[in-house]
Every structure is written in structure tokens, then in C-alpha cells.
Amino acid sequence: MNFMRTAVLLAAMTALFLLVGGALGGQTGMMMALVFALATNLFAWWNSGRMALAANGAQEVDEAQAPELFRMVRDLSARAQIPMPRVYVIESDQPNAFATGRNPENGAVALHTGLMRMLTREELAGVIAHELAHIKYRDTLTMTISATLAGAISSIAQWGMFFGGRRDNGLGVIGTLALAILAPLAAMIVQMAVSRSREYVADRSGAEICGNPLWLASALAKISRGAQAVLNERAEANPAMAHLFIVNPLSGRGVDNLFSTHPNVENRIAALEELARAMNVLTISGWTPFSEDVHAPAYPARSAWGRARPHYGGGSPGGASPWRPNKDRANREGRRGPWG
């Protein structure tokens, strides 16, 4: 359903571009705006992965540095039937994650250390599967197309605002100015709707990849609270990258609205719970999936690691690095999850 919704939204954006371009810029103006927007967004598409990782201070890790994390990404990538992406870790107390890459062959998954300290093994698998779904379905390309059309509409609207648009468009001065003001607003709304639609697709596909929708639902509840409580200074300095993250990393953006890059978290959890019922998945360790309060309890009673919360170090003197899980715990558990 959300695949169709994305297609409809992109078609609406194209129609809006043709309408505004014909009214304000004519054929020549449309082509100039489209070429300009295409050039700038192609550059961003080609370099967006490196730019996003660098802007967030991501550090690439290998299997020697993060053996369990690396194996989890590799196993889930095999289930998703995509090449193994590069794995990055970001030193940040805010629990969050994002994926980038212009295609599956150039994919990368970046995880905050705060995320790995907070989530259980199952929940972390749900988050990683969500990010792999973004890579699998080339969401970077989808958002680039959306941004290109929105940029072209904004360029034409600016020309219409300053130069009066086409004289023979039948709209008059007031109509031309109104279209020049409202068109970029409409394009932004459609662009944000595309972004929200892709999150629902990644939630569903990620749940299918990891095998349990409730893992991701539980993770989203924790990440949402953590993202609201902990400031992400890098994201605040680069708000244009907010749509990349699994949960909006910006402060004061918890309400779902037309201009939000992410769906309301409670709506996402409800959709995942419905998917869990359809898949006949009823439980997650220590978490009641269908209670009235989907956010309770804050942490499962026991995780797959055999303790209430996984510990990745960094929080106590002499602990392991945030991306090197405790080896003794891994040896005691010896379980790789439903995919292995």
C-alpha cells in the first residue's frame, strides 16, 4: 500500500511541477529549473552518503572491532538479499540510527552508541533491519527525485515572484503571486509525505527481514523517548539530514504534522503491532505488545543477552568500547537469532 502511496505522491509532485512550470515559466523556464535542480540534486545523491557520515562524525568499524554487531548486519543483509553494507558507529548519547548510500552496492548503516547501550539484541536487530530496508528499496534515490522536483518548483516560483511569470497565463498579477507563494509550500508538503511514506515501508520490510515486528516496535518506543530527552547537536546544526534517521533527531519535533519528515511513532508502533498479529507473532521477551500503553515497560525484564539491558561499555570505567560487546556475555548466550 505504501509503495503505491509513494508512486502517487511522486506523480502528484510531477503534476504540480508541470502546472506551476507552465503557468509561471513556460516550457523554457520549466527546462531551466529542472536542469538546475537535477544538477544540484545529482551531486547531492552521489555524495550524500559521505557527507552525512562525515557531518555526524561516523567511524567505520570492522569485524575485529565489533564482531557481534558486524555478524548481525551480515546475517540480516543476507536475509534482505542485499550486499553487506559498511558499518559505522557514531559517538552520541542520543539513541538513533540511519542508513545511506546511492544504491545497495554502496550502502552504509550508522548506529549511535546511545542506541546500542539502550536496546536489547532483538531490538537492535529490528533497527538494523529497518535501515537495510531503506537501502534495499533505494530510498536515497526516491528522496533525491522528490527533492529535485521540489527544488525545480521552488526555482520557478522564485522567478515568478520576482519577474511576474508569464504574461499570458490568465492568472493576473494576484494569481501569479499566489501561485508563486503556494507552489513551494505544496511541494514541501508532498516531499515530507513521501518521506513519511518511506518510513512506513521500511518499518514493514524491516520487520519482515528480522522476523518479528515487535522487536522494531519496542525499539521505536525507546528511541522516541531517548531522542526527545537527549539533544543531538550535530543534527540540530544540520537539520536537512533529519529525514535520514529512524526517529526525528531534532528537539521539539515530536508532533506528527504536514511538515514532519517522520510519521508519528505511536502510529508506526500500531502498524507494526497489526503486522505482528497478521504474522501470528504475539510476544517479545519481557514486553507486552498489546497493552493499552505501548510505551510500558520502558525496558524488557530480560533480553536475549540474559540481562535487563545490554551493556556496550563506555558508561563505566574500564568498560569495553561502545562498539565491542562483552565477549563473556556473547559466549554465554551463543544464540544468533531467528535468521541464523
Task: Supply the residues annotated as catalytic.
Answer: 131
Q: Which of 320, 33, 323, 69 is nearest to 160 (CA)?
A: 33
Q: Is 162 exposed, middle or buried (0-12, 13-18, 19+ CB in 10 A)?
A: exposed
Q: Where are the alpha helices (DSSP H) in 255-338?
A: 265-278, 327-333
Q: Are 92 and 276 in contact (CB under 8 A)?
A: no
Q: Are 206 and 277 in contact (CB under 8 A)?
A: no
Q: What is the spatial distance between Cα 70 and Cα 286, in angstroms, rounded to a whole number?
A: 26
Q: What is the spatial distance between Cα 100 and Cα 88, in angstroms, rounded to a whole number?
A: 11
Q: Would you give the distance in Å from CA 19 to the centre of its chain?
A: 30
Cα radius of gyration (the chain): 22
Q: Are 117 and 310 in contact (CB under 8 A)?
A: yes
C-alpha cell at 129: 533491519
C-alpha cell at 325: 560487546
Q: Would you give the distance in Å from CA 114 to the centre of its chain?
A: 17
Block residue for cell numbers 530480560: 302
Q: Which of 2, 122, 114, 102 is nearest to 52 (CA)?
A: 102
Contacts of 100 by beta carbon, 8 Å cutoff, 6+ apart: 48, 49, 52, 53, 107, 108, 110, 140, 244
